[in-house]
Amino acid sequence: MLTVHVEGRDAIQAAEGAKLVLALEDSGIDVLHRCGGNAKCTTCAVEVLAGDAGAMEELEAAALRNKGIEDSSVRLSCQIRLHGDVSVRLIKTAASTGLEPGTRPQP
Ligand code: FES
């Protein structure tokens, strides 16, 4: 199992290869995923503070570019498959925005 440190919250455990967005949600964190994990909405974005979140594919890069997000530490949690421990900071949550989380992404 891998460890995901979430700033301001307890660390969570996740399986190797799990999508970060689902690891967060399945641990009770109210992460948003308004487009259902399709790299369109960017509401699932997190700031990666430490650890290797893996290479960014063009789909993710294009979504961030289209929203004017240029900070390279900001990643879409729906596009990250965990292969090591990471530390992240949540950017938006259901509680902080008042939005419904959205359709659950595919595993
Ligand atoms: S970009 Fe929409 S859920 Fe990740």
Domain ranges of the chain: 2-97
Q: What is the pLDDT of residue 88?
A: 98
- Phi then psi for residue 13, to 5 deg, are -105, 145
Q: What is the pLDDT of residue 6?
A: 98
**Residues near ligand 1 with C-beta < 6 Å?**
33-35, 37-44, 63, 76, 78
CATH for the stretch 2-97? 3.10.20.30
Q: What is the pLDDT of residue 46?
A: 98
**Mean pLDDT, residues 73-95 taken together:** 97
Q: What is the pLDDT of residue 106?
A: 96
Determine what percent of the chain is predicted with pLDDT higher than 70: 100
CA atoms of 54 and 44, how far apart (whole Å):
16
Centroid of ligand 1 to alpha carbon of 60 (angstroms): 9
CA atoms of 75 and 57, how far apart (whole Å):
11
Q: What is the pLDDT of residue 107?
A: 96
Atom of ligand 1 nearest to the CA of 40: 1
Alpha helices by DSSP H, listed for the chain, are 20-26, 58-66, 94-97
Centroid of ligand 1 to alpha carbon of 2 (angstroms): 22
pTM score of the predicted model? 0.97
> Strand, helix or coil at 59?
helix
Q: Are 18 and 54 within 8 A, CB to CB?
A: no
Centroid of ligand 1 to alpha carbon of 45 (angstroms): 7
